[in-house]
Amino acid sequence: MRRPTSYDVARAAGVAQSTVSRCFRDDGGISGDTRARVHAVAAELGYTPNAVARSLILRRSNVVALIVTDFTLRTNPHVIDGISQALNAAGKRLLLMTVSGDNDVAGAVVGAMEYPIDGLITGALIGDENLARFLARGVPVVSLNRRVDRARVDCVATDHATAAGEVADLLYGAGLRDFLCMTGPVDSAVNAERVDGFEARMRERGGARVARCVSGAGYDEGRAAFAAYVARHGRPEAVFCANDQLAFGVMDACRHDLGWRIPEDVAVVGFDDLPEAARPAYRLTTVRQQFEEIGRAAIGLLVRRIAAPEAPARTVLLPGQLQRRASTL
Amino acid sequence: MRRPTSYDVARAAGVAQSTVSRCFRDDGGISGDTRARVHAVAAELGYTPNAVARSLILRRSNVVALIVTDFTLRTNPHVIDGISQALNAAGKRLLLMTVSGDNDVAGAVVGAMEYPIDGLITGALIGDENLARFLARGVPVVSLNRRVDRARVDCVATDHATAAGEVADLLYGAGLRDFLCMTGPVDSAVNAERVDGFEARMRERGGARVARCVSGAGYDEGRAAFAAYVARHGRPEAVFCANDQLAFGVMDACRHDLGWRIPEDVAVVGFDDLPEAARPAYRLTTVRQQFEEIGRAAIGLLVRRIAAPEAPARTVLLPGQLQRRASTL
DNA sequence: TTGTAGGCGTTATCAG
DNA sequence: CTGATAACGCCTACAA
C-alpha cells in the first residue's frame, strides 16, 4: 500500500540507495550485473521513481502547463491533441488548465506557478503582469495564436491576416462589394486579426462596403446574431465569419431561417476548416488552420527555448490554407 | 530568476521558515500581525509555495491524471471540459494523457505512476494488471463509460444498454423490422454495450433482423463502410449507429452517395447527441449523453473515495436521454 | 503564538 | 564501479 522507495529496492537488492538511483537513470557507471539485479528487484517490488522527489532536486518537472479557454477545448480539441502528442514524443507531461471565457485565469496562473513547470503554453489571455511573473522565474512561455510583444515570449500562430486577405481577394474577385463580417466577441484578438485583415485588403481594393456584426463565439450566437442583423440591415452579398462555428450558424440561418440560397443569394466564408466544413451539409469555403502542426510547433519552440533560454523571441507563422468550396462562387 | 523559497520570505520578514509555511496554509495559530507582514513580503518577493516540495512530504499532489484516447479528446471534448471544471472547483489539477487508439498506454501508465496522483480517471483501456498497480498503491481509480468489475474501482457511465433498448423500442414501434447496426471498431466496449443492448431488446420483441457492420470510429469510416455494406447487402429499413459521428457519415452516404431520403427510405439513429446532431443538416434522432455531468460525477466519485478509500465500488449510471428528431419517423 | 529540527525520496558530489 | 552524504523546499511534531 505504501509506495516503495529506492531505499526499499536498495535493501532488497543489497546495494546502496544511490546505486538504485543510478540504475534508473542509465547513468552509465553501473555494471550490467547489479543493473539487472536492481531492476529485477524493483519490478518485483513495483518500484517506480518518484517524479516529485526528482522534480524537487532537479528544479524542473518535465511538465508543461497549457492554459486554454473552455471554448477552445470544446471547439478546437485538435490543437490540444497536437500538443499532447508532441509532448508525449518529447517525454513531457501535460498539465491542462481550462479557464471559462478568460475568467478564473488567476486560479490557473497560481496553479501553474506552484509547479516548477518546464514551460507554459497559453491560448488564453493571462494578462501582462502574469506573463511577467512566469518570465521572471525563467519559465519559457509560448503564446498560441496571439502575438505577444515581449522578449523571450515565443509565439505560434496561423497567419490570420494574410489568409483573411486571400478570402477578401476571392470574394472581391467574384465581383462582390457588399460585405458583412461576423466578428464573434469583441475581445477576441484572434478574431480581430482576421476581420481586420479582411477589411484592410478590401480597403486596398477599394469600392467595397464592409459592415461588422458582433456576437458570441459559437453556432447559436452566430445564427441568432446574423438573423437579427439582416432583419435590420438587409442582405449582404457575402459574409466573412471569424470562425467556422459562426459560419455554420450563418449558413443555417440563411437556408433555414431566411430561405436564402448559398452562394447564389449570399456567399459565406469561415475560418478554421473544422471537419464539418468539408461535409455535404456545408461545403464551406474556409481557411484551414493546421491545428496539429500548431501544437507541434509550440512544443518545438518550447524545447528550443529550454535549451537556449535567452534566445530572441521567435514567431512561427503558419500559413492558413484557403479551401474553396461551394459556399462561394 | 531563482524561485524564492519560504526561507527567503522568512529572512526578509524576520520570522522562522515554519512561520511562513503556516501563513500559507491558514494554519490558525498565527497572529494577524505576522500573517499580514509575511504575506506582504511574500507578494513583494513573488513567492509561491512549491507544490512539488509540498507533494513530497504530504505524499499526494492534488493532481488527478486523466487517460483518454485521442479519438475521445477530439470527438468528446465536453467530457474533458466537465472533468476539468469539476477539478477546478475541487481545487485539483489535471494531468492529461492521451493515448492513440489504445496504443502507447504503457507510457501513459508509467507517467501517471511516477506521480503521487490523488486519483486516476481513465476513459481508455489500460489493462487489468496496470489497474492493479494503481490500486496496489492506493490510488483511487474511476473508469469512464466502462464497467470494471473490481473492488474499489468506481465507474461512471451512461446507461448505454437501456438507452439503446429505448432506441430499439422506438424503431420497432414504428413498424420497422430490418436493421443494421454500425458498430464502429470491434474492440470498443462502449460501442458493444450499445449494439448489444439494441439487439437484446430486438430479440425480446421478436421478428426482427439485425445485421452488423464493423468500421472505424469516425465520420469517414462510417460513411465508406455503410456505402460498401449496402452495395453488398441492400438497403436496411433503419440504421442504429454506435455514435453520432458514424451516424453523420451514414446520413451523408444515404443522401449524397445513394440518393436516399431520411427517414422515408431509411431511418437513422445515433448516440451521443453532439451539438451537430440537433442542427438542420442532420436533425438526428440520438441519445444524449450528459458529458459534463459525467465529468462532474467522476470527480465526485474520486473525492468520495479519497475520503473513504475502502468503500465498496460504486457505479454511477447516468440515463441516456432519447432525443427524437427528424431522422426517424 | 513562534522557533527548532527531522524527514519526505530523489539527485549529485565526493571518496573509496 | 559503488557507497556515503548533502541538498532540494516544505510540513509537522515538539519545545519554548
In whole angstroms, what is the distance from residue A290 CA to residue A305 CA? 22
pTM of the model: 0.92
Chain B hits for A80, Cβ within 8 Å: 73, 77, 96
Shortest Cα distance, chain A CAs vs residue B275, angstroms = 9
- Give the pLDDT confidence score for residue B181 in this predicted structure: 98
Query: What range defines the domain where residue A41 resides?
Result: 6-49
- Give the pLDDT confidence score for residue A33 in this predicted structure: 82
Contact B69, B98 (CB under 8 A): yes
Are A183 and A274 contained in the same domain?
Answer: yes
- Give the pLDDT confidence score for residue A147 in this predicted structure: 87
Q: A96 Cβ partners below 8 Å, 6+ apart?
A: A65, A66, A68, A80, B80, B84, B94, B95, B96
Task: Give A241-287 pLDDT, tens digit per residue.
Answer: 999 999 999 999 999 999 999 999 999 999 999 999 999 999 999 99
Cα→Cα distances A169→A159, A203, B15, B178, B287, Å: 16, 11, 67, 52, 44
Contact B160, B174 (CB under 8 A): no
- Give the pLDDT confidence score for residue A128 in this predicted structure: 92
Task: Please check whether residue A261 lies inside any domain of the structure.
Answer: yes
Q: Using CB atoms within 10 A of its CB, is residue A154 exposed (0-12), middle (13-18) or buried (19+)?
A: buried
Report which residue is nearest nucleotide D9 when distances run from CA to C1': B53
Task: Give A160-175 pLDDT, tens digit per residue.
Answer: 999 999 999 999 999 9
Chain B hits for A92, Cβ within 8 Å: none
Q: Cβ separation of B84 and A100 shorter than 8 Å?
A: no
Which run of H or E residues covers position B269? strand B267-269
Contact B1, A137 (CB under 8 A): yes
Task: Please check whether residue A229 lies inside any domain of the structure.
Answer: yes
Chain A hits for B282, Cβ within 8 Å: 281
In whole angstroms, what is the distance from residue B20 CA to residue A224 CA? 54
Task: Please check whether residue A325 lies inside any domain of the structure.
Answer: no
For residue B301, the domain's CATH number is 3.40.50.2300
- Give the pLDDT confidence score for residue B32 in this predicted structure: 78
Task: Please check whether residue B278 lies inside any domain of the structure.
Answer: yes
Are B244 and B131 contained in the same domain?
Answer: no
In whole angstroms, what is the distance from residue B61 CA to residue B80 CA? 20
Distance CA B232 to C1' D1 in A = 69
Q: A235 Cβ partners below 8 Å, 6+ apart?
A: A260, A265, A266
In whole angstroms, what is the distance from residue B226 CA to residue B216 CA? 11
- Give the pLDDT confidence score for residue A54 in this predicted structure: 96
Task: Give A198-219 pLDDT, tens digit per residue.
Answer: 999 999 999 999 999 999 999 9
Task: Give A11-37 pLDDT, tens digit per residue.
Answer: 999 999 999 999 998 777 787 788 999
> Counting one residue from A and one from B, how many pairs have CB atoms under 8 Å apart?
136
Q: Cβ separation of A116 and B3 shorter than 8 Å?
A: yes
Residue in A39, A68, A114 to test binding to B, most B beta-carbons within 10 Å: A114
Are A208 and A168 contained in the same domain?
Answer: yes
Task: Please check whether residue B38 lies inside any domain of the structure.
Answer: yes
Are A265 and A181 contained in the same domain?
Answer: yes
Q: Which nucleotides of D are covered by protein (CB under 7 A)?
A: 1-5, 7-13
Are A86 and A155 contained in the same domain?
Answer: yes
Task: Please check whether residue A282 lies inside any domain of the structure.
Answer: yes
Are A152 and A299 contained in the same domain?
Answer: yes
Are B276 and B176 contained in the same domain?
Answer: yes
Q: Cβ separation of A136 and B49 shorter than 8 Å?
A: no
Are A40 and A122 contained in the same domain?
Answer: no
* SS3 state at B143: strand
DSSP for B148-187, written as a single string: --STTEEEEEE-HHHHHHHHHHHHHHTT--EEEEEEE-TT
Q: Cβ separation of B116 and A53 shorter than 8 Å?
A: no
Cα distance from N-terminal residue to C-terminal residue, chain A? 67
Residues in reach of strand C, judged by a CB distance below 7 angstroms, are: A 2-3, 5-7, 17-18, 21, 24-25, 47-50, 53-54, 56-58; B 14-19, 22, 28-31, 33-35, 53, 56-57, 59
Are B23 and B65 contained in the same domain?
Answer: no
Task: Please check whether residue B325 lies inside any domain of the structure.
Answer: no
Mean model confidence pLDDT for chain A? 94
Distance CA B55 to C1' C1 in A = 27
What number is the average pLDDT over the span A123-141? 93
Which run of H or E residues covers position B77? helix B77-90
Task: Please check whether residue B326 lies inside any domain of the structure.
Answer: no
Distance CA A58 to C1' C14 in A = 19
Q: Cβ separation of A85 and B100 shorter than 8 Å?
A: yes
Distance CA B31 to C1' C1 in A = 7
Q: How many domains does chain A have?
A: 3
Q: Find which nucleotide's C1' atom is closest to A16's CA.
A: D3
Are B166 and B261 contained in the same domain?
Answer: yes
For residue B13, the domain's CATH number is 1.10.260.40
Are B69 and B105 contained in the same domain?
Answer: yes
Are B119 and B168 contained in the same domain?
Answer: no
Q: Cβ separation of A252 and B46 shorter than 8 Å?
A: no
- Give the pLDDT confidence score for residue B30 in this predicted structure: 80
Q: Give the residue ranges of chain B where pLDDT is below 50.
A: none
